[in-house]
Amino acid sequence: MLNDKTIQIIKSTVPVLEIHGTAITKRFYELLFSNYPELLNLFNHANQRQGKQQTALANAVYAAALHIDKLEMILPAVKQIAQKHRSLGVKPEQYPIVGQMLLKAIKEVLGDAATDEILGAWADAYGVIAGVFIEVEAGMYQAAEQQEGGWADYRAFRVERKIVESEVITSFYLVPQDGGAIATFEPGQYVSVKLDIPGEANTHIRQYSLSDAPGKPYYRISVKREDTLQNRPAGKISVYLHEQIGEGDVLHLSAPAGAFTLDQQDERPLVLLSGGVGLTPMVSMLKTIVTANPKRRVIFIHAAQNGDVHAMKQQVDALASLHPQVSNYVVYDKPTMNDRSLQAFDKEGYIDLPWLKKVIPTTNAAFYFCGPVPFMRMMNSTLKEFGVDAADIHYEFFGPAGSLEAETEAQPQR
């Protein structure tokens, strides 16, 4: 445990971290990768280039400093990060390296303001925080390996089927190459996929939500192809999966992980809101709940540009037709002529509060949403304005955790 003096010193640095946190974490990653280039195999290089990882770490460090006297306050965030670490294969021996580089970054960025006393306090605090992560992750590693059908690290899976779901999303049905059983998972969880791409110096690891219900002899991931956009390069991994990985090829997967999971004990109505490829964990939740609790009311709302890029629509429509307790709504902001002729959508434009009030009969429900960050910011602010209790709002970031409060929430784009 930390003594009172150390706690006070750490708390005194909170205003500094609020200002210089991202500069510190940016320098931290530069030092980490220049001194330990092998760790590049664990990180998403695109998130590094876009600054997402630096911002996420800065937010985590700031939260740890703010709650250093009550670390239980950040335990949910610790468990979420630990799930990602377990799926990536982060090891206990890597924590001292991280601590050393973090302290060096603090000193370089803050200069003389980072006194020996402050650095000593942060060294002590980091030791305590790292210990929490190591302990939590040890339990997760053990559970992942010892569960029925479980395994440690990565396991080879063969692509049994490759199905085009839309112009931009393709599903991969994956079965274990060794023919053994596979671990179950909670709807909403993901697997890490590790790829060694010819010509690439480093291994690439990406997380993809499991898009089918548990209990099948396969895992299904549904991958959106991220092509070049303005100010953003193409998604190297998604393009490789779409273009180079076919039926019969082998991918290496971690055991399922993730803290964004469906509470199946809740009997209240379930509202599932998704934008774009954010529907993947929602489809898993929908497929699970109609079997596990067929009496539970479900409202499934998906937003996409149009029917050309709307994946798994027929699957969701079929479930809704078979299960009268499921209400299914589609929102397109740029519907095609074909969408209009088929009457394939329920609302043109964006999901807004007046429309939500028409299709959702009560705020006493469980709300789950996932999609691009602007979409999630809009859903978060809209649900709050609707009067939904914060405890009933659940969401998942694809990539490093961010803040839904960080930017103006009046941008309804996807």
The topology (CATH level 3) of 155-253 is: Elongation Factor Tu (Ef-tu); domain 3 (2.40.30)
Phi, psi of 326 (to 5 degrees): -100, 125
Show the tokens assigned to 349: 């434009």
Which residues define the annotated binding site for heme b? 85
Q: In angstroms, rounded to a whole number, what is the distance separating the alpha carbons of residues 336 and 305?
A: 9
**What is the DSSP track for 121-187?**
HHHHHHHHHHHHHHHHHHHHHHHHHHSTT--SS-EEEEEEEEEE-SSSEEEEEEEETT--------T
| pLDDT for position 232 | 55
Residues 6+ apart with CB under 8 A from 280: 208, 209, 210, 211, 221, 222, 370
What 291-298 contacts at long range (C-beta under 8 Å, 24+ apart), as own/partner pairs, is: 291/213, 292/264, 293/264, 293/267, 294/323, 294/325, 295/325, 296/267, 296/268, 296/269, 296/270, 296/325, 297/269, 297/270, 297/325, 297/327, 298/269, 298/270, 298/271, 298/272, 298/323, 298/325, 298/326, 298/327
Catalytic residue among 29, 95, 126, 240: 95
Residues 396 and 188 sit within 8 Å (Cβ to Cβ): yes
CATH of domain 270-396: 3.40.50.80
Phi, psi of 222 (to 5 degrees): -125, 115
Q: How many CB atoms lie within 10 A of CB 257?
A: 21
Average pLDDT per consecutive 10 residues, the chain (414 residues; last block may be shorter): 92 92 92 93 73 77 88 86 93 94 95 95 93 94 96 97 97 98 97 94 94 97 82 77 97 96 96 97 98 96 98 97 97 97 97 97 97 94 96 82 49 29
At 188 the three-state DSSP class reads coil
Residues 305 and 414 sit within 8 Å (Cβ to Cβ): yes
Catalytic residue among 29, 62, 126, 137: 137
Chain region(s) in the chain for CATH 2.40.30.10: 155-253
141 labelled catalytic = no
Please say whether the dihedral angle defined by the alpha carbons of residues 323, 170, 253 and 218, taken in this order, is positive or negative.
Answer: positive
Which residues define the annotated binding site for NADP(+)? 276-281
Is the model's pTM score more than 0.85?
yes
One of 1.20.1250.20, 3.40.50.620, 1.10.490.10, 3.40.50.2300 is the CATH number of 4-146, namely 1.10.490.10
Amino acid at 333: D
| pLDDT for position 58 | 79
Q: What is the chain's length? A: 414
Q: Which residue is listed with tokens 């379930």?
A: 270
H-only helix segments in 293-333:
313-322
| pLDDT for position 76 | 84
117 labelled catalytic = no
Chain region(s) in the chain for CATH 1.10.490.10: 4-146
